[in-house]
Amino acid sequence: MNETVKGTEGTAGGARRSEALTLPNLLSLSRILLTPVFVWMMVQKRPWAAFIVFLVAGATDALDGFAARMLHLRSTLGLWLDPVGDKVLLTSAFVVLTLPALSQPNTLPLWLTGICIGRDVAIALTALILIALWGKQTFKPVLAGKASTVCQVLVLYFVLYSNAVGRSPQALAWLYVLTALLTCISWIQYGFRGIALLRSRRKGAN
CA–CA distance, 14 with 40 (Å, rounded to integer):
36
In terms of domains, do 181 and 103 share one? yes
| Residue 112 included in any domain | yes
pLDDT, residue 8, reads: 45
CA–CA distance, 168 with 162 (Å, rounded to integer):
6
pLDDT, residue 146, reads: 85
The model carries a pTM of 0.83
pLDDT, residue 101, reads: 95
pLDDT along the chain (206 residues), means of 10: 50 49 81 95 97 94 70 64 88 97 96 95 83 69 85 96 95 95 92 78 63
pLDDT, residue 134, reads: 72
In terms of domains, do 117 and 204 share one? yes
pLDDT, residue 12, reads: 44
CA–CA distance, 63 with 116 (Å, rounded to integer):
24
| Residue 90 included in any domain | no
How far is C-alpha 63 from the chain's CA centre? 14
pLDDT, residue 106, reads: 96
pLDDT, residue 14, reads: 46
User: Largest alpha-carbon pair distance within the chain?
Assistant: 73
Domain enclosing residue 20, as ranges: 1-82
In terms of domains, do 108 and 181 share one? yes
